[in-house]
Amino acid sequence: MALDGILLHKIIQEIKPLLPLRIQRIYQISTTEVLFHVHGRSGRQQLMISCHSQYNRMLMTKRSYPTPAEPGNFGMVLRKYLEGAALAELEQKDLDRWCVFTVRRHNDIGDPEEMKLYVELMGKYANIILVNADGLVVDALKRIPPFENTRRTIHPGARFHETPPQNKRDPFSDWRIEADKTLTQQFAGFSPFLAEEAEYRMAHGQSMQDIMQEIAQSDRLFIANRNNEAVFHCLPLTATGPCVDYPLFEGFDILYYHKEEKDRIRQISGDVFQAVKRHLKHQKTKLPRLLKEYDDARDCDRWRQYGDLLFSYGIADTKGQKEITLEDFDTGSPVHIPLDPKLDGRQNARKCYSRYSKLKKGQIYLQEQIGLCEQEIEYFNGLLEQLEQADFATAEEIKEELIRGGYLQEKKKRVQRKKKPVGPKITTVTLDNGVRISFGRNNLQNEALTFHQARKPEIWLHAKDYHGAHVVIHDSHPDEETLRTAAEIAAYYSAGRSSSSVPVNYCPVSQLKKIPGAKPGMVQLGSYKTIYIDPDRDRLSALGLPVD
């Protein structure tokens, strides 16, 4: 669900009192997001603008965003023109889904000048456009050349034209209802979803004036679920059903931060996804070949039979022949023996014996290779599952694991001062009873938690038969509620998160044994018990844990 003009109006009302804001640093954190580090009367803050086709928004955020080592082209342009400048004014035209920042800066020779930064939040057409004092486009996050749109070219050097007005009435000042038109046709800023909510309220006795006054006074975002999709607006969603509310900007972060984080991780750490998928595809292609070779090797006795028959019948002259048919001594049935036309009978017999010997010995080797190949497939499937649930720090640790394992080549970096190595980032939550629960979200975190941080009497948990998190309860005798909470964490942060009655094994850490030569995070269990649990996303979210 995209935001509408009225919701953008509320966002702008929250940002305008903070102006002016001095731009200190600009990061293009993905192909659709730009993060401004700004400073104003309220101190240091972050202004985030997303032009994602589904999650487009603008807000002041306190969330931590990963910054790529190299900014994108548009990010470099923004840094050139806007770092050190001030966001002085912010205006929205006719409650439409776009607004414009007036930016005051000094040019290369020190003269003051104004530029415009247009933010258009119109679904798949969302864009950020920098326009100079002469009304020409300096650059845009999404360029639109003339051959794509002849009416409105968004390209460096092109004359910028604002989005044409829709000529609708302002619902904050004019509440007249025309019966022959829908609310979206009459009022500026109205989306079909808001119109549906307003019509429901008016059908239950509320006036249009009261609805708009309620919107005008609201500073919160109300979120509900409809057909397994989040819907939201700045007033209670009575037509939809039960909803929860948050401060406006916090609500947007709760809605979209983790959803868009997946796209961001794929863009910034795309080589990790590609490497894992490439190796997984290679191993899956390799396994059928190994299995076929093993089946052939198990049929090695026929080559010994061929050699026996060639020697027994005293076949001598086989040069020029590709096959010979001889009668089996035991069954009397014909046996078709392939030949090398360059060799005589004895040489072909010796070649058959050699093939028999090679295939017999090869069975052991092929069994080992099949086992290794199956382990690799299991390993990369696990990494892929971890990446699907990973935050940026976790994805970076998976990248480090791939580099250590020789699956990914480390990019050469400029020589920098050596930093003290930082261990894997393990997540820990403290329950109301004071008991701490820690868990890892990738193999390196699991390895560090299980074999380096956890103490032997503490309780260890893991979803049975699923790739997933190692969970440790930092208590040797947890109560049932604590055990069930830890089991929920183990079940949710595993490949079984969407299942019900997920089996979770648990035991003291002392019952775990590291498997020699195994991949990081692999363990062997001694004595253990199993608990069955239904992962509860809302319960984990209430504990402050990251959930999708």
Burial of 73 (0-12, 13-18, 19+ CB in 10 A): exposed
Whole-angstrom distance, CA of residue 57 vs CA of residue 8: 8
The three-state secondary structure class of 508 is strand
Whole-angstrom distance, CA of residue 308 vs CA of residue 188: 93
**Predicted confidence (pLDDT) per residue in 203-248, tens digit:** 999 999 999 999 999 999 999 988 888 899 999 999 998 999 999 9
The pairing of strands 436-439 and 112-120 is: unpaired
**Predicted confidence (pLDDT) per residue in 472-485, tens digit:** 999 999 999 999 99
Asked whether residue 35 carries a pLDDT value surpassing 90, the answer given is yes
Q: Answer whether CATH 2.30.310.10 is correct for domain 5-140.
A: yes
Whole-angstrom distance, CA of residue 403 vs CA of residue 109: 48
Whole-angstrom distance, CA of residue 147 vs CA of residue 84: 36
DSSP β-bridge partners for residue 337: 324
Task: Give the up-direction half-sphere exposure of residue 441: CA atoms within 13 A in the CB hemisphere.
Answer: 22
The three-state secondary structure class of 98 is strand
Q: What average pLDDT does the structure give for the chain? A: 89
**Predicted confidence (pLDDT) per residue in 319-350, tens digit:** 889 999 998 888 889 999 999 999 998 999 99
* DSSP class per residue in 456-477: TTSEEEEETTS-B--EEES-SS
Q: What is the pLDDT of residue 412?
A: 61
Share of the chain above pLDDT 90, in %: 57
Whole-angstrom distance, CA of residue 98 vs CA of residue 93: 7
Share of the chain above pLDDT 70, in %: 95
* Contact between 115 and 160 (Cβ < 8 Å): no
DSSP β-bridge partners for residue 90: 101
Of 462, 439, 441, 437, the C-alpha closest to 396 is 441
Burial of 22 (0-12, 13-18, 19+ CB in 10 A): middle
* Contact between 153 and 180 (Cβ < 8 Å): no
Q: Which of 162-176, 276-290, 379-393 has the lowest average pLDDT?
A: 379-393
Whole-angstrom distance, CA of residue 396 vs CA of residue 408: 12
Whole-angstrom distance, CA of residue 73 vs CA of residue 89: 26
**Fold for domain 272-387?**
Helix Hairpins (1.10.287)
Asked whether residue 254 carries a pLDDT value surpassing 50, the answer given is yes
Q: Which of 266-275, 363-372, 379-388, 501-510 has the lowest average pLDDT?
A: 266-275
Q: What is the pLDDT of residue 418?
A: 52
Asked whether residue 536 carries a pLDDT value surpassing 90, the answer given is no
Structure tokens at 237: 């969603």
Domain with CATH 2.30.310.10 in the chain: 5-140
Q: What is the pLDDT of residue 227?
A: 85
More confident residue, 388 or 86: 86
Q: What is the pTM of this model?
A: 0.66
Whole-angstrom distance, CA of residue 461 vs CA of residue 393: 23
Tell me the mean pLDDT in the region 404-432. 73
The pairing of strands 512-514 and 529-533 is: unpaired
More confident residue, 46 or 72: 46
Of 443, 529, 442, 423, the C-alpha closest to 486 is 529
Q: What is the pLDDT of residue 274?
A: 85
Asked whether residue 279 carries a pLDDT value surpassing 50, the answer given is yes
Asked whether residue 67 carries a pLDDT value surpassing 80, the answer given is no
**Predicted confidence (pLDDT) per residue in 361-394, tens digit:** 889 899 999 999 999 999 999 888 888 777 777 8
**Predicted confidence (pLDDT) per residue in 482-492, tens digit:** 999 999 999 99
Q: What is the pLDDT of residue 272?
A: 84
Q: What is the pLDDT of residue 417?
A: 52
**Predicted confidence (pLDDT) per residue in 439-481, tens digit:** 998 999 999 999 999 999 999 999 998 888 999 999 999 999 9
Q: What is the pLDDT of residue 415?
A: 47
Q: Which of 158-167, 326-335, 537-546 has the lowest average pLDDT?
A: 537-546
Alpha-carbon distance values, 526 to 162, 378, 468, 510 (Å): 69, 22, 19, 9
DSSP code for 100: E
The three-state secondary structure class of 152 is coil
Asked whether residue 9 carries a pLDDT value surpassing 50, the answer given is yes
SS3 labels along 243-279: EEEEEHHHHHHHHHHHHHHHHHHHHHCHHHHHHHHHH
Domain with CATH 1.10.287 in the chain: 272-387
Asked whether residue 48 carries a pLDDT value surpassing 70, the answer given is yes
